[in-house]
Amino acid sequence: MSSSSNVARPALGARDANAPVATVRPTSKLPVMSKLPKPQFKRPLAEDARGSAAKKTKIEAPSVKSGTGIPKGTVGVRKAMAPGNTTTVRKQPVRKPPEASTAPKKRPAWDLKGRLSDMEKMMEMRISTNNHLEHNLSENNQRVQMVEMLNERLKGTVAQKDHMLSENCQTINELQRKIRDLEDEAASVKRRHQCVTEDLESRNSTLEIKKKSLEGELEVSNQECIGLKCKIAQMTSARVGMETELSSIRGILEQAQQTCKHQEGVINGLNNTIVKHNSTIQELESNLQEAEAVRRKLHNTVQELKGNIRVFCRVRPLLPSEKDTCAEISHLHFNGIDGKTLEMDKVDENCPGQRKLSGGKYSFTFDQVFNPSSSQMRVFEEISQMVQSALDGYNVCIFAYGQTGSGKTYTMEGPVESNEETMGMIPRAVAQIFKCTQDLKANGWKYTMEASFLEIYNETIRDLLVNGEDKLKHDIKADAQVTNLTLVEVKSEKQVAKLLEKASCNRSVAATNCNEHSSRSHSVFRLKLTGSNDLTSEECEGTLNLVDLAGSERLTSSGSSGERLRETKNINKSLSNLGNVIMSLGNKESHIPYRNSKLTYLLQNSLGGNSKTLMFVNISPKEENFGESLCSLRFATKVNQCNIGTAQKKVK
Ligand code: ADP
Ligand code: MG
């Protein structure tokens, strides 16, 4: 160690030879100097100091033994050299020369003799002191020699110790280097250990998390296990049951197999029968096609027998708002058992509800009279055969005639928000057509359907299926086709429903006294049906016209004026012309005035010869509408009396 090199060593060599004291500070590492030679002095007595001063005191030189180096008998020095002690070579006390005990009295100047003796005495004293001092000096010289010798020995020891020290220093340096290496190694090991520890800790925490999740899973699995064990137990018992069942089923199976063998024989027999039946079916199918043709013929015959123009009367129910003024319908009677007669009490037209004319009744008979409780479905049942005729290739025309508010639009289209129960004749007719075309596919018939929807307002045709405002001019051609009219090929009932919605938005409505939303135009929904049969090579083309006529009320009751008056006049003109055309047809006149109004001109092919016509006369149940109802019923009766000829199937 570096500190060891700084060990304080006694600077013996540097000591003044005369120095009386030598101080040695041994360290624990120095060997103990146990024996040092002790100088032997013979101290001269003070009395013979002078005589013996010259004599040399014989000092026995101590023989230095190898090993210890210090002769026996040097106790004082040995003791002083003991470890931890400060070694002191003590100075022998200097013997002072004897001094005159009493100072001589001062002699008078004249006492020369006395003074001489005093001086002699003093002389003697001084000599003795001198001797004494000489003696002391020789002693000290001896001691110095002794100490120098000791110093030499100590130098040897110190050199030895220095050598040992340097060796030790080397060893220490070596050890320190090793320690540093070891410390470095320890630090790197520590670092590695720390890394490993951190790694292990992170792994440990991950494993802890995994452990927890696995514990959770284990818990769930245990629960599942318990559940599964229960299930297994249940299934085991079920299996036992099933095994018994299985064995019984096996028995049944064996029986069944036997039966099967037997049945196979039967099946073979039946297969032969099937082959026979198939040929019969083919025969029957061809018969069916023939029968379908016969059915069409017969159906038409029935229609003809019913008359080619038919009139149905429909009285709508009182609306909830109308029940406040009139709780029930008292002036209309639906007594006919056959549902074909309507009786109306005679009421003073000017004061309806006030005065019934005694005993008087108007009686009307039509092909069908529907009372207020008749449902849309019931009404359609009666017209569905005419729809069928359109599919068979006839032109069919169904009108709704009556005053505003009598239920024409309700009958033809249904209420604004209609459903299965309340939907009108147009959607029902379309539904039936779609159903029939599907059914007829089996007989080889394929149909295409084109729809158009127009209105005649003030003798002008307006397309109800255009998007936005209809700016095109529409004329009726000789074949009753309308120019610039939208024709939509329809493929589903939904599509038709959308067309009706669009048309009702486009349709002109205007408020009058009779009905806030009175229809002031005739609307014509036309469905052109073109069919072809690949099996029979037949083709047919029919048209179904469903017409919602404008209100038939007379001028006086609507209280119209100006533009409204013009509308009313046009409506009345076209309606009366419709009556005239029907009358002319009934009278088999040579000239039928189709061209007198747009409506009749448009329907020329659907009225008369090659068509089947049906008119609904819609009647309001309100007594206040007595006059209008009477007019409508009279008009319908006239129509009903017409025989407008036999319809011709249009076969291409
Ligand atoms: P029009 O078209 O002849 O002017 P609407 O068809 O608009 O008359 O009928 C007038 C009102 O009477 C409407 O509110 C309609 O819903 C209602 N209505 C008509 N017929 C019936 C009926 N058979 N059942 C229930 N309500 C009807
Ligand atoms: Mg209407």
Paired tokens of 518: 């009175």
State yes or no: pLDDT of 572 exceeds 50.
yes
Q: What is the pLDDT at residue 530?
A: 95
Q: What is the pLDDT at residue 202?
A: 92
Span 335-345, average pLDDT = 79
Binding site membership of 414 for ligand 1 (Cβ less than 6 Å): no
Q: What is the pLDDT at residue 98?
A: 52
Span 170-180, average pLDDT = 92
Binding site membership of 44 for ligand 1 (Cβ less than 6 Å): no
- Rounded distance from Cα 598 to ligand 1 centre (Å): 26
Binding site membership of 408 for ligand 1 (Cβ less than 6 Å): yes
Binding site membership of 52 for ligand 1 (Cβ less than 6 Å): no
pLDDT band at residue 422 under the 50/70/90 scheme: very high
Q: Considering only residues 85 and 618, tell me which one the structure prediction assigns the higher pLDDT.
A: 618
Span 131-155, average pLDDT = 92
Binding site membership of 519 for ligand 1 (Cβ less than 6 Å): yes
State yes or no: pLDDT of 64 exceeds 90.
no
Q: What is the pLDDT of residues 146-162, one digit of tens each?
A: 999 999 999 999 999 99
**332/258 Cα distance (integer angstroms):** 76
The DSSP element (H or E) to which 538 belongs, if any, is strand 538-548
Binding site membership of 406 for ligand 1 (Cβ less than 6 Å): yes
Span 526-540, average pLDDT = 91
Binding site membership of 402 for ligand 1 (Cβ less than 6 Å): yes
Binding site membership of 627 for ligand 1 (Cβ less than 6 Å): no
Binding site membership of 317 for ligand 1 (Cβ less than 6 Å): yes
Q: What is the pLDDT at residue 65?
A: 40
The DSSP element (H or E) to which 304 belongs, if any, is helix 112-306
Binding site membership of 577 for ligand 1 (Cβ less than 6 Å): no
Q: What is the pLDDT of residues 501-520, one digit of tens each?
A: 888 777 754 444 434 334 67
Q: What is the pLDDT of residues 208-221, one digit of tens each?
A: 999 999 999 999 98
Binding site membership of 409 for ligand 1 (Cβ less than 6 Å): yes
Span 621-630, average pLDDT = 90
Q: What is the pLDDT at residue 49?
A: 41
Q: Whose CA is nearest to atom 9 of ligand 1?
A: 407
pTM of the entire structure?
A: 0.56
Span 417-429, average pLDDT = 91
- Rounded distance from Cα 225 to ligand 2 centre (Å): 74
How are beta strands 460-463 and 538-548 bridged, if at all?
Answer: unpaired
Q: What is the pLDDT at residue 378?
A: 93
The DSSP element (H or E) to which 357 belongs, if any, is strand 356-365
Q: What is the pLDDT at residue 640?
A: 84
Q: Considering only residues 80 and 179, tell me which one the structure prediction assigns the higher pLDDT.
A: 179
- Rounded distance from Cα 366 to ligand 2 centre (Å): 22
> Worst-scoring range by mean pLDDT, 158-167, 351-360, 556-565?
351-360
State yes or no: pLDDT of 44 exceeds 70.
no
Q: What is the pLDDT at residue 412?
A: 93
Q: What is the pLDDT at residue 558?
A: 52
State yes or no: pLDDT of 139 exceeds 80.
yes
> Worst-scoring range by mean pLDDT, 302-306, 368-372, 577-581?
302-306
Q: Quote the radius of gyration of the chain (alpha carbons, Å).
A: 76
State yes or no: pLDDT of 424 exceeds 50.
yes
- Rounded distance from Cα 409 to ligand 1 centre (Å): 7
Q: Considering only residues 559 and 287, tell me which one the structure prediction assigns the higher pLDDT.
A: 287
Contact 387, 396 (CB under 8 A): yes
Q: What is the pLDDT at residue 440?
A: 87
pLDDT band at residue 345 under the 50/70/90 scheme: confident
Q: What is the pLDDT at residue 322?
A: 85
Paired tokens of 71: 């002769």
Q: What is the pLDDT at residue 286?
A: 80
Span 617-643, average pLDDT = 89
| Ligand 1 atom, smallest distance to 406 CA | 3
Q: How far is CA 438 from the centre of its chain?
A: 44
Q: What is the pLDDT at residue 349?
A: 64
**90/597 Cα distance (integer angstroms):** 171
State yes or no: pLDDT of 134 exceeds 60.
yes
Q: Whose CA is nearest to atom 23 of ligand 1?
A: 316
Binding site membership of 515 for ligand 1 (Cβ less than 6 Å): yes
**409/509 Cα distance (integer angstroms):** 12
Q: Whose CA is nearest to atom 22 of ligand 1?
A: 316
- Rounded distance from Cα 512 to ligand 2 centre (Å): 13
Q: What DSSP character marks residue 529? A: E
Q: Considering only residues 103 and 167, tell me which one the structure prediction assigns the higher pLDDT.
A: 167
Q: What is the pLDDT at residue 644?
A: 59
Nearest by Cα to 528 from 485, 567, 569: 485
> Worst-scoring range by mean pLDDT, 68-77, 264-273, 283-292, 400-409?
68-77
Residue 34 CB neighbours (<10 A): 15
State yes or no: pLDDT of 477 exceeds 60.
yes
Q: Among 316, 417, 504, 521, say which to mutate for ligand 1: greatest number of ligand atoms within 8 Å of CB.
A: 316
Contact 530, 373 (CB under 8 A): no
Span 421-439, average pLDDT = 92
**15/155 Cα distance (integer angstroms):** 13
State yes or no: pLDDT of 43 exceeds 90.
no
| Ligand 1 atom, smallest distance to 515 CA | 4
Nearest by Cα to 387 from 511, 299, 284: 299
> Mean pLDDT for the chain?
79
